[in-house]
Each structure stands twice: as structure tokens, then as C-alpha cells.
């Protein structure tokens, strides 16, 4: 039953992220999901592979992203996001759950290719999360971006 529930959430997360990213067109990408809907996992982690490429606007130079925890505040329960590529990484935390504000953007300068975007939380409890991401050229022009969900559990 639990695996079936996790599978449903994984599929839902992938579809949400894919459709929102696709619908946003060439200027923005974003998506949302509920992490650990059952509220029992301290180690729930989402891993998304973001591929940055030249779509005619120029070669990708970086990936920028930010995260927002839409859930009510719970002491000690925060949402974090890490970007990782090669031997480089950056991270950010939404330090105020439930407000309308995203975390600040973080930028990882890794050139074209596949980046790992990892979203996790600090304790057990369901979290409703939104993420926004963009691949950009060295001049800050939005360029090709594709995603696939690797893990959501």
C-alpha cells in the first residue's frame, strides 16, 4: 500500500513538474508537489535532473533556482534545495515556511549539461513545495531546459 501511494505521488510530481515547466515556455520553468504526504519520512528527497542546452539562444552557462515551502510553519521542519554538477554545488533553504515568498535564487555556474536539483526536508512531516528554475547563457538569456524526475521518496 505504501509503495503504491509513493508511486502515485511520484507520477503526480513528475507530471506536475513536466507540465508546468513545459507550459511556462521558453522564459520560465517551475513546478510543485507535496513531499512526504503521509508525513512519516525524515529522509524524503526529490531528485530532478535538469539538462541545460543551446536551444538557439546560446550555450548554457548556469542554472538558477529557488524553492518555496507553502506549508504551515512547524518548528525544526524546513525545506532545502541543492544544485549539483561535476565538482560544484550550491544550496538554499526557505527559512520561513508558509509565507508567499520564495527563497532567494541560487546560481550554479556549470556550463551546458545535466545538473542535479535536490529538494529535501529536515524532519518528518508533509511539505507542499514549489520550485522555479532557469538555464541561462553567460549574458543571462534563457536557454534550453529539460527535466526528468529521478527520485521522489
CB 139 within 8 A of CB 93: no
Q: What pLDDT does 28 receive?
A: 62
Question: At which residue does the C-alpha cell 524524503 appear?
Answer: 44
Give the total number of structural domains in the chain: 1
Reported as a pLDDT band with limits 50, 70 and 90, residue 36 is: very high
* Mean pLDDT score, 43-52: 97
Compute the distance between CA of residue 93 and CA of residue 78 in angstroms, rounded to an integer: 7
59 half-sphere exposure, CB direction, 13 A CA radius: 6
Q: What is the CATH number of the domain that holds 56?
A: 2.60.120
Compute the distance between CA of residue 135 and CA of residue 22 in angstroms, rounded to an integer: 14
pTM for the whole thing? Answer: 0.82
Of 143, 80, 88, 151, the C-alpha closest to 115 is: 88
Q: Worst-scoring range by mean pLDDT, 2-6, 19-23, 26-30, 36-40? A: 19-23
* Mean pLDDT score, 32-50: 96
Three cell numbers at 31? 513546478
Residue 34 pLDDT greater than 80, yes or no: yes
**How many other C-beta atoms can be found within 10 angstroms of the C-beta atom of residue 132?**
20
Residue 11 pLDDT greater than 70, yes or no: no
- Domain range for 70 is 2-152
Question: At which residue does the C-alpha cell 524546513 appear?
Answer: 78
Amino acid at each position: 500500500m505504501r509503495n503504491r501511494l509513493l508511486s502515485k505521488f511520484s507520477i503526480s510530481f513528475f507530471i506536475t513538474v513536466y507540465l508546468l515547466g513545459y507550459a511556462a515556455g521558453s522564459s520560465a520553468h517551475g513546478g510543485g508537489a507535496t513531499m512526504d504526504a503521509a508525513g512519516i519520512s525524515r529522509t524524503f528527497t526529490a531528485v530532478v535532473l535538469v539538462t541545460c542546452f543551446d536551444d538557439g539562444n546560446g550555450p548554457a552557462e548556469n542554472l538558477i533556482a529557488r524553492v518555496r515551502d507553502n506549508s504551515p510553519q512547524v518548528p525544526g521542519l524546513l525545506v532545502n534545495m541543492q544544485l549539483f554538477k561535476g565538482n560544484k554545488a550550491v544550496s538554499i533553504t526557505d527559512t520561513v515556511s508558509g509565507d508567499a515568498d520564495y527563497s532567494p535564487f541560487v546560481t550554479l555556474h556549470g556550463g551546458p549539461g545535466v545538473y542535479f536539483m535536490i529538494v529535501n526536508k529536515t524532519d518528518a512531516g508533509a511539505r507542499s513545495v514549489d520550485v522555479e528554475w532557469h538555464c541561462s547563457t553567460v549574458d543571462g538569456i534563457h536557454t534550453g531546459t529539460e527535466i526528468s524526475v529521478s527520485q521522489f521518496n
